[in-house]
Amino acid sequence: MSLDIEAFSVHDVSGFPLIRLRPDRMEPGFASQWEIEMDALLLKGRPFVIVFPALRTEESHEDRKRRGIWLKRNKQVLGGLCLCLISVEPDGLKRIALKAQAAMAKKAFGIPAEVVAADREAEVLAGQLLAAAGT
């Protein structure tokens, strides 16, 4: 099953199985589209990695709540396909805070999470994880 790249707006799936979140598409109310896209990724049935770029927008409470419910509901399937969520954060202090959040997210949602300083580090790590999974 191939992904219809045109159907994705919140995620850039053109490099699947390396997926990039598009923070500029995270306007209030984006969670419904995010859910549709995540469902499509799970239906694909192949391992993937999601990279969160350094420039992120503040997520609305309703979007965060809706995504949290989806993540809990799909924890087992997502944990089997999403090899890692990789956040990019150049600022050292913010990176430390994000690493603490990543550890909590792993416990809550069953998805490994890493925080790196640069896009290139995210690409290298994603490549290593995907190669290890045979993707």
Tens digit of each residue's pLDDT, the chain (135 residues): 677 888 899 999 999 999 999 988 989 999 999 999 999 999 999 999 999 998 666 789 999 999 999 999 999 999 999 999 999 999 999 999 888 888 887 888 888 999 999 999 999 999 999 999 998
pLDDT of residue 55: 67
Report yes or no: 84 and 114 within 8 Å, Cβ to Cβ: yes
Q: Which of 109, 55, 58 is nearest to 85 (CA)?
A: 109
Q: Give buried/exposed letters for 24-58 (b at 16+ CB in 10 A, else e).
A: eebeeebbebbbebbebbbebeebbbbbbbbeeee
Specify the pLDDT at position 103. Answer: 83
pLDDT for 1 equals 60
pTM, whole model, 2 decimals? Answer: 0.91
